[in-house]
Amino acid sequence: MNESRLPYSRLVVAVYAKAATPESAYAQHLTEKRSREFVNQLVRAGVEPRRLETRAVVVNAPVLIDPLDNPTRYNQAVEIIPVDR
């Protein structure tokens, strides 16, 4: 991601979390904090900070539904999205 695959792309780190209401201030705070910490770890690993952007998304349903698994298991997720390729 850093040197060989997408060396110049900007990346959005999107953190998703399920909350009872999408307006939940605590859930918004938590997802923002998680996304910033994830970006900080990428910077420590050598990704240039100017390439990174955070996005916190609060939803009122599970992020992923797997009918063969526990339906409440996937209540949070992290996605790295290349903006320009």
Whole-angstrom distance between the N-terminal and C-terminal Cα of the chain? 11
Does this model's pTM top 0.75?
A: yes
The pLDDT of residue 84: 76
Please give the Cα distance from 65 to 2 (Å, whole number).
31
pLDDT for 40-50, tens place per residue?
A: 999 999 888 99
Q: In 3D, which of 11, 15, 57, 51 has the Cα closest to residue 36?
A: 15
pLDDT for 33-83, tens place per residue?
A: 999 999 999 999 988 899 899 999 998 877 777 777 776 677 888 888 888
CATH number assigned to the domain covering 11-82: 3.30.1330.60
